[in-house]
Structure 1
Amino acid sequence: MIIGNAARAWTAMAAAFLLAGCAADAAPSGSGQVPPALAGTWSASSAKVNTAGVTAYLPDDPALLALRLHVTGDSLAMDGHTCESPRITTETLPLRTLIEETYDASPDAMGVASPDVPHPTHFITCGSGDIGPSYDRGSWISRLSPDLIAMNWFDGVLLFLKR
């Protein structure tokens, strides 16, 4: 009888450990902090537009070039959109992959040069608010250099911003 109870208890305990392990694997990796390299104010220097279909903007539209991204350790804000308590995951990807998956367009069609160089890309999900349209893994910012980033934006727009 004692052996039967111990076996049932062990089975239940093993199942609990397996479920806990699965839940831990399913949790997104990343942190609640914005990478320090992104902190500061960024100004739109160029805007590429997916011109397939109806668009609200033209490439390098003055309204887009007036945008400023303000990044602190715990928030991102631009044009009335604020991402509070962001969760960031980072992956190294070429712009080609991001453009083709986000805009369903080619880099050539959007006028993007050197799309095959991999760059650190930060996928952002917000505890509250937003900082652009949601991509499969959240909005994204790709660090092209210490002072240049690319970011997906609303209405099929790809922004390039300089510090």
Structure 2
Amino acid sequence: MDLEIYDETNGQVTDEQKKLIKNVLDFAAKEIGLKDNTEMSVTMVNNDRIQEINRDYRGVDRATDVISFAIEDNADDFPVVMSDEMLAEIPENIGDIFVSIDKVNEQADFLGHSVDRELGFLIVHGFLHLNGYDHMEPEDEKVMFDLQRKILNDYGLKK
């Protein structure tokens, strides 16, 4: 997977945390069978910045932990005739995840588990949203949260 990680926290995110983000996303991508040439980004921010994003895009004027922006597939709007081989080579950008490092630290402390576990949880949660998973309905929540738990446990980020 082609992953760009941006740090807008003035160095609050360590190199080890960036490596964790990459590794857990690669692991999750394999778990759900994502194509190798999938593209996405993760931007690490602080509470002030994620509050701005939350306010501007969701109409909620408070800091949150993770926000996902999935890129909608509008391929039907512009049909292009290509062979299956050519289509398989075109990278698919699935979207962007924003995570507040402040919330990662606050929630890890509050929940009594490691910062790595909380960071991994939020990254996987946002990633699953980018891939069409949701938790608005109880049956969807069960599917998403069971998969999220499986990915984190199998990766080694247990509670």
Q: How high is the TM-score relative to the length of structure 1?
A: 0.24
> Which structure shows the bigger proportion of residues in helix conformation?
2
Structure with the greater alpha carbon radius of gyration: 1
> Which structure shows the bigger proportion of residues in strand conformation?
1
